[in-house]
Chains A and B, each alone.
Chain A
Amino acid sequence: DAKTTQPPSMDCAEGRAANLPCNHSTISGNEYVYWYRQIHSQGPQYIIHGLKNNETNEMASLIITEDRKSSTLILPHATLRDTAVYYCIVRASNYQLIWGAGTKLIIKP
């Protein structure tokens, strides 16, 4: 089973920041938090990952709490094309990613 808990759905207005929460209270010290998204009918797209420190790239920012039990993915200026299912994954092994149901993010005009 997935080691993460995410809200099933969220809405965000276009142009605003989308903040997607994830709980991973049983995360181990060497496990990374990964975020992927899946736009309808496409393959999962890697967004960002981190261990302890906050991370930022051209797509998003990842904020991890100090105790590492939760994190937030931030899309700074959401567009309609950001409508997708967003998955928070704790890397549980060297090989497989274990997927939950994710958060369906709907960006509204």
Chain B
Amino acid sequence: EPEVTQTPSHQVTQMGQEVILRCVPISNHLYFYWYRQILGQKVEFLVSFYNNEISEKSEIFDDQFSVERPDGSNFTLKIRSTKLEDSAMYFCASSTGTGSNQPQHFGDGTRLSIL
């Protein structure tokens, strides 16, 4: 069964450094998402992306965050200058469409630890 893959599984970065998290969505999916989950807390939506544009973003997704689809397969989340509070699990998801009847499928996440 096709799946969303994320790399790396664990990223350790010094505060203030830039970090790029990578995702390969399911191949025929057109809509891409990033969520995060701080340890012990709920999953939170960050951003959705379609046709090389951000479709929707949350308040969390400020100027320090950016997303990109650099080629036909990868979808990346960049955090420009990391802060301690960015430490979390980051999940990528993809779907065929955005209708209420289209499930999002998730990867296993990247654990980001900011020191």
Contacts and interface: CB of A to CB of B under 8 A. Distances in A.
B43 A99 contact: yes
B103 A46 contact: yes
Contacts, number: 60
A95 B106 contact: no
Nearest to A96: B45
Nearest to A30: B100
A43 B34 CA distance: 12
B31 to A, nearest CB: 8
A95 B103 CA distance: 10
A44 B100 contact: no
B44 A46 contact: no
A83 B109 CA distance: 19
Contacts of B42: 2, 99-101
Given A96-B58, A99-B42, A91 B48 contact: no
Number of chain B interface residues as a range: 20 to 34
Given A96-B45, A97-B104, A43 B109 contact: yes
B98 A46 contact: no
Nearest to A90: B100
Contact of B100 (A38, A46, A91, A100): A91
Nearest to A48: B103
A32 B31 CA distance: 18
Interface of B: 4, 6, 31, 33, 35, 42-45, 48, 55-56, 58, 91, 93, 98-101, 103-109
22 contacts: A31-B100, A36-B106, A38-B43, A43-B4, A43-B6, A44-B91, A44-B106, A46-B103, A46-B105, A49-B103, A51-B100, A51-B101, A94-B98, A94-B99, A95-B33, A95-B45, A95-B48, A95-B55, A96-B45, A96-B58, A97-B35, A98-B45
Given A44-B106, A100-B42, 17 more contacts: A31-B100, A32-B100, A43-B106, A43-B107, A43-B109, A45-B106, A46-B104, A49-B101, A87-B43, A93-B56, A94-B100, A95-B48, A95-B55, A96-B33, A96-B58, A98-B45, A101-B42
